[in-house]
Amino acid sequence: MQQQTARIKIAVQKSGRLTDHSLELLSRCGLSYSKGRDQLICYGENMPVDVLLVRDDDIPSLVQEDICDLGIVGLNVVEEYRLGIGTADASAVFRQVSLLDFGHCRLSFGVPDGTSFEGSVSLAGKRIATSYPRILKDYLQREGVDATVVEFSGAVEIAPSLGKADLICDLVSSGSTLRANQLYEAQTILESRAALIQTPVQVPEEKAVWIKRLLQRIEGVQQVRESKYIVLHAPRSALDAIRALLPGSEAPTIMPLDGRDDKVALHAVCRENVFWETLEQLKEAGASSILVLPVEKMLA
């Protein structure tokens, strides 16, 4: 049995837009844990890693206060929290270890249809409803705009029709919520996506080893999503042209083909998706027997 103190705690949103992606990421890192969505803690069964399921707004403070070692949360929530505690010593907050490839959205002004918007001048003297008062106030201050920030904890998009605000500043991804409320997206003030944050506190060695391993696996999972393994036959004379066509690849492996001096086999990992157009160009350049294979796992 591991000592309680040696176990890593990672805070993940309990129920919301980041939950499935976050849990899937941890599963792909090889973590299996006791399930049960009503639980606050899921105990890792094959690694000393436990998952704490909480509201996303609680994740930055749990990590900053070292109650959790790691957390997965949107940059919008991170930024709102950071502005709340002041920026005197950024390193005492938490470390933002990496950006993740899900939870993409933006914090934008939503303006009622039929109302024009010309940047800062259109904000002056207005009432702006938002759930991100600190980010908005910081933006207004930097722009030198005097406007009233009306704080809403949810359903910000109905504020204009209720007469509580002239416009809103809210998270947008597809824009369908704005459209459904007769608003249009006028300007973005923050681009956001999920991020992995880490405690600012120095962790003991036995924990550090597992944290490093987990971070490396998360990196690997992210890289692998887009990566492809390409195998092809190429005339030696066309190798330079073919290598130049391979998207995002490092030095490929070149192997002789039995009984052929003029042709070789080329194997390469491409860190970007490989489209049909690339295959057609490779063929035109002289490649044959082209195979594109998915990559299951990767450790750089």
List residues binding Zn ion (CB under 5 A): 56-57
Q: Which helix (H) or strand (E) is 64 found in, with range?
A: helix 59-64
Backbone angles phi, psi at 118, to 5 degrees: -125, 50
Of 56, 69, 80, 157, the residue at the interface with ligand ATP (CB under 6 A) is: 56
Contact partner, 249, from Zn ion, ligand ATP, none, Cβ < 5-8 Å per class: none
Order of strands across the sheet that contains 288-294: 253-257, 260-270, 228-235, 288-294
Our finding on whether 60 is near ligand ATP (CB under 6 A) is no
Contact partner, 76, from ligand ATP, Zn ion, none, Cβ < 5-8 Å per class: ligand ATP
**Shortest Å, Cβ 105 to ligand ATP:** 3
Which string of b and e fits 6-35 if b means at least 16 CB within 10 Å? ebbbbbbbbeebbbebbbebbebbebebee
Burial class of residue 141 (count of CB atoms within 10 Å of its CB; 0-12, 13-18, 19+):
exposed
Contact partner, 192, from ligand ATP, Zn ion, none, Cβ < 5-8 Å per class: ligand ATP
Of 64, 76, 108, 278, the residue at the interface with ligand ATP (CB under 6 A) is: 76
Nearest position to ligand ATP, beta carbon: 74
**Segment near ligand ATP (CB under 6 A); pick from 1-9, 16-24, 251-259, 290-298:** 16-24
Our finding on whether 84 is near ligand ATP (CB under 6 A) is no
Tokens of 173: 């991804």
